[in-house]
Amino acid sequence: MRLTKEEQEMLDGGLGDAARESMEILVALGKIYGAERMIPVTSVQVSGVSYKTIGQAGLEYLADLAEKGARTRVQTFLNPAGMDREQWKEMRIPADFAEKQIQVLDAYSRMGITKTCTCAPYFIGIRPKKGEHVAWAESSAVAFANSVLGARTNREGGPSALAAAICGVTPCYGLHLDENRVASLIVDVKCELKGVADFGALGSAVGKLVKTKYPAFRGIKSATEEQLKVLGASMAATGSVPLFFIEKITPEWNVAKDAERITIGAAELDAERKAIDSGLKPDLVTIGCPHASLKEIKEVAELVAKRKPTCEFWVCTSRKMKEEADRLGYSRAISAAGGRVVADTCMVVCPLERMGYSVTGTNSGKAAAYLPNLCKQNVAFGDLEDILYR
């Protein structure tokens, strides 16, 4: 790889051990993927934040890096942690877990990383422009950044994202190069998508069929950002999809001439919804995968104010969004109906399996894909009006 003078200096250890170790990771990655050079990034999203996913070894790695003087060079922010930093006791998060989670967050803080703890940074003002290069790590945020915003990012792992934050660059390969941003699977959607759960089921179904291809959708007449985030998240969970196009909706539309075609109609959508729904009544409903926007929180507040849900429920979001929801009275309406606006974490990365729940409701294909294995939950999948009042 061709390195700039400063990149070479980092690799040689002239800028400290943390920068040297980080540049070693980036150069190794660049060699594996055939990158010719590094490319500067404007922001980095670091994953590997929940103590549940990184464990003791991860915590020690982070503490060691912070100790060696690792400091970020670009705007860097965090994916969700394993608990709400303020409400963890009320949520019955085990104290031993909370203690470790606080240590993880402290290590990241010492490196200069903002504790946004969200998988939807684009709802709190972190919105890279079309063509802007970033290094984001959370799969749904990567899909959103590439597909909905038209930014350029590979799906980074925890260590490679952190290395990019410390060095300010990432190896230039994959989705950073225009020639690789081409769909080779056309998905003809021949049914109406009525709400978030339909977008979740569509993403879940297509993710299972897509293999290594990027999909390009035709036939979707309109979609809100909330629906697009769920579509991308669901495909990222069932198919590791980092980029998709929707005709006349996404800022890019590049389809290979020899692209394969599949059709998803009402029968396929219905079959996917049935496949991921256990049909059970949930003991907890979780809304906000990826993290809820203010508009979604408002919709839930209005819905539950009219009729109280028959089970406990959470609306997962970022701290910044929760503060807005508190200010506007949405959080109060949700608490009055037996729910809770939960910040910093989500149903999948918190230790749900230790908190006494066994059936969790969701309208997201991503949460539906992860809840059984990562949280030992049965899944109740459906529209909010269904799962909240089942």
The residue ranges that bind ligand F3S (CB under 6 A) are 80, 119, 140, 233, 289-291, 316, 346, 348-349, 366-367, 370
Q: Which is nearer to ligand F3S, 140 or 153 (CB)?
A: 140
Q: How far is the CB of 372 from ligand F3S (least distance, A)?
A: 13
Q: In whole angstroms, what is the distance from residue 165 CA to residue 70 CA?
A: 10
Phi/psi for 287 (5° steps) reads -115, 140
Q: Which is nearer to ligand F3S, 252 or 344 (CB)?
A: 344
Q: Which is nearer to ligand F3S, 18 or 78 (CB)?
A: 78
* Whether 311 contacts 284, CB under 8 Å: yes
Q: Which residues are paired to 284 by β-bridges?
A: 312, 360
Q: How far is the CB of 122 from ligand F3S (least distance, A)?
A: 12
- Structure-block tokens of residue 353: 């399996």
Strand boundaries in 140-200, DSSP class E? 169-171, 183-189
Element (H, E) at 360: strand 359-362
User: CA–CA distance from 73 to each of 129, 141, 167, 173, 221 (Å)?
Assistant: 20, 21, 6, 21, 41
Q: Which is nearer to ligand F3S, 29 or 347 (CB)?
A: 347
Q: How far is the CB of 140 from ligand F3S (least distance, A)?
A: 4
Which pairing describes strands 215-218 and 284-287: parallel, antiparallel, or unpaired?
unpaired
Q: Which residues are paired to 189 by β-bridges?
A: 264
Q: Which is nearer to ligand F3S, 184 or 240 (CB)?
A: 240
Comparing CA positions, the residue from 271, 217, 225 lying closest to residue 244 is 217
Q: How far is the CB of 166 from ligand F3S (least distance, A)?
A: 23
